[in-house]
Amino acid sequence: MSKAVLDSSVIIALSSLGYLDHLKDVFEEIMVPQAVYEEICTKGRGLPGDRELRDLADREAIGIRNVRNRVLVNALLDPLSLGEAEALALAVEEEAECVVIDDRLARSRAKAMGLKVIGTLRILRLFLDAGLISKKNYEHWNFPVSHVWVKGFKVETAK
C-alpha cells in the first residue's frame, strides 16, 4: 500500500500495543490531519499515542497535514468529530489509497464517499503478513473485540 490517512483511534490502539512505528514498514506515506494530531498530542498530552505520534512526526515518518477543503470538513462535521471529518477530507485531497479509522459512523461515511476503509485489525493483519509481528501476537488480537475499548473508542467486528 502507498498512501494512508490515520484517525486517532488507530494511533492510540497501535501505540498502546507498541506497534505504531511499524506503519512505516507497510505504507510509503502516512498522513495525519492537524485536528487528529491536536486531539492526541495537545488534548491527550501524556496519554497513549502522544509520545509515539510526536516521535514519528519529528522523524518525518508521519506527516501532519492541514486540510485545505474546509467546506468538505464542515459538511462532514455533523455527526462526525473534527478529527474524523479532517481524516476523510484529507484522504480525498491527497488521493490516499486508504483511510484507517475504526469508528462505525465515520467508516460508513468514508465508504459512501468512495474511500477505501481499513481499521486497526486490518493493520494488525498487514503487520503479520509483513513479518512485523508474530502469529501468536496476531492471534491474541484477532478475536471478536466488541467488548474492547481503547480510550473511549469501541472497536467492533462486523456483525
- Interval 32-86: pLDDT, tens: 999 999 999 999 999 999 999 999 999 999 999 999 999 999 999 988 999 999 9
Binned at pLDDT 50, 70 and 90, residue 136 comes out as: confident
Quickly name the fold that domain 3-154 has.
Answer: Rossmann fold (3.40.50)
Q: Across the beta sheet with 29-33, what order do the strands follow?
A: 63-65, 29-33, 3-6, 98-100, 117-118
User: E strands within the chain?
Assistant: 3-6, 29-33, 63-65, 98-100, 117-118, 149-150, 153-154
Q: Where are the domains of the chain?
A: 3-154
Give the predicted TM-score (pTM) of the model.
0.86
What confidence score (pLDDT) does residue 156 get? 44
For the chain, what is the mean pLDDT?
Answer: 88
